[in-house]
Amino acid sequence: MLVLGIESSCDETGVALVDTGAAGGAGPVPRLLSHALHSQIVMHQPFGGVVPELASRDHIRRVLPLTQEVLQTARCSLADVDLVAFTRGPGLAGALLVGAGVACALAAALARPVVGVHHLEGHLLSPFLSADPPEFPFIALLVSGGHTQLMQVDGVGSYALLGETIDDAAGEAFDKSAKLLGLPYPGGALLARLALGGDSAAFKLPRPLLHSGNLDFSFAGLKTAVLVQAKKLGPELDNRKADLAASTQAAIVEVLVKKTLAALSQTALRRLVVAGGVGANALLREQLNAACRARGIRVHYPELEFCTDNGAMIALAAAMRLQAGLVDLSAPEASYTFDVKPRWSLAECPPAPGPAASGA
């Protein structure tokens, strides 16, 4: 069965087509047939962050041409699509509504069902698109611009929250620190590049909640510490940017690695999935790989192109839900009353999220 997925929760419009194989039943990991992405980063850069209204308008411009591109690349037509999926939340309300509206309209025109997908479910299942997919159960470290969470994942739709950030997300800490260093939005990857030429021990920065005894994170204080350090340096900052970048990255990564290892030992699970934009960070990967290798733990990452937001992970999550029997295909018209959930915890995500199941 063919699943068309639409992602529009923030500043990327992503569309993808995946195939669950015969009859959509339990079987091999769904196959990605094609995908297309438009990033709005350049459009938002002059504002130093995402402007929600501009994001919504750009999603409107991009989503149908991207859908046509995806269908053409896969040599399919809209009539071949069996299920339409969209990101229902969390994210920017206006941006989410674009994907929801288009998905519901397409599904209604095709008389096919539509299903709303949790954005973080997409991220944490995204390594299933890689050549070396994980097996359940596993610990998932979700690190993006909006979220930092440790989850225990026992299967599709079975997610237990072990810990999360109480303020800024890890990606936000990267981006805000990068801004203080004069780097453009989103500065995470640029800060990492700058850090390559710096000394990570040059500045003593806090490791918030490192010894809190739980699996929660806090990054707001770190950003303040970077600000204080930058001010203290004054004009000298220009010569010390690489050192400050390296020290900041080391602080964020150390907390992420230590808490992730604690989650693995608490649950005695032997498999780790790292997903979300910050999962692309080379130092994080290096340290997690080394620590996990020493403990005999397998680590899985999505392909680099699927670390940040994309449509493939949304189509995949819907397809895996379909395979797990969590999507009701029997009454398409009942699924067309769409809504979005700008704030939505994955732990609260019902086994069958979306309008079709909730009737909301």
Residue 116 binding result from Zn ion, ligand KG4, none, given CB thresholds of 5 to 8 Å by partner type: none
Q: Tell me: does residue 144 bind Zn ion (CB under 5 A).
A: yes
Identity of the residue, 170 or 357, whose beta carbon is nearer to ligand KG4 in the bound complex: 170
Residue 188 binding result from Zn ion, ligand KG4, none, given CB thresholds of 5 to 8 Å by partner type: ligand KG4
Residue 312 binding result from ligand KG4, Zn ion, none, given CB thresholds of 5 to 8 Å by partner type: none
Residue 208 binding result from ligand KG4, Zn ion, none, given CB thresholds of 5 to 8 Å by partner type: none
Q: What is the contact surface with ligand KG4 in residues (CB under 6 A)?
A: 10, 144-146, 171, 174-175, 186, 188-189, 192, 276-278, 280-281, 308-309
One-letter identity of residue 276: G
> What sign does the dihedral 165-166-169-170 (CA atoms) show?
negative
Q: In whole angstroms, give the CA distance from residue 274 to residue 192.
A: 17
Identity of the residue, 50 or 326, whose beta carbon is nearer to ligand KG4 in the bound complex: 50
CB of 310 to Zn ion, least distance (A): 9
Identity of the residue, 194 or 307, whose beta carbon is nearer to Zn ion in the bound complex: 307
Stretch of 13-21, 32-40, 167-175, 301-309 contacting Zn ion, by CB under 5 A: 301-309
What are the C-alpha distances in Å from 115 to residues 144, 161, 340?
23, 23, 11
Stretch of 64-72, 140-148, 186-194, 240-248 contacting Zn ion, by CB under 5 A: 140-148
Residue 192 binding result from Zn ion, ligand KG4, none, given CB thresholds of 5 to 8 Å by partner type: ligand KG4
Identity of the residue, 9 or 152, whose beta carbon is nearer to ligand KG4 in the bound complex: 9
> What sign does the dihedral 30-32-36-40 (CA atoms) show?
positive
Q: In whole angstroms, give the CA distance from residue 222 to residue 14.
A: 32
CB of 49 to Zn ion, least distance (A): 15
Q: Tell me: does residue 309 bind Zn ion (CB under 5 A).
A: yes
CB of 17 to ligand KG4, least distance (A): 21
CB of 109 to Zn ion, least distance (A): 28
Identity of the residue, 71 or 312, whose beta carbon is nearer to ligand KG4 in the bound complex: 312
Identity of the residue, 20 or 281, whose beta carbon is nearer to ligand KG4 in the bound complex: 281
Residue 90 binding result from ligand KG4, Zn ion, none, given CB thresholds of 5 to 8 Å by partner type: none
User: How do strand 148-155 and strand 138-143 relate by DSSP bridges?
Assistant: antiparallel
Identity of the residue, 124 or 263, whose beta carbon is nearer to ligand KG4 in the bound complex: 124
Nearest to 50 by CA among 199, 172, 215, 221: 172
Identity of the residue, 203 or 301, whose beta carbon is nearer to ligand KG4 in the bound complex: 301
CB of 157 to ligand KG4, least distance (A): 20
CB of 178 to ligand KG4, least distance (A): 7
CB of 172 to Zn ion, least distance (A): 12
CB of 202 to Zn ion, least distance (A): 31
Chain positions contacting Zn ion, by CB under 5 A: 144, 309
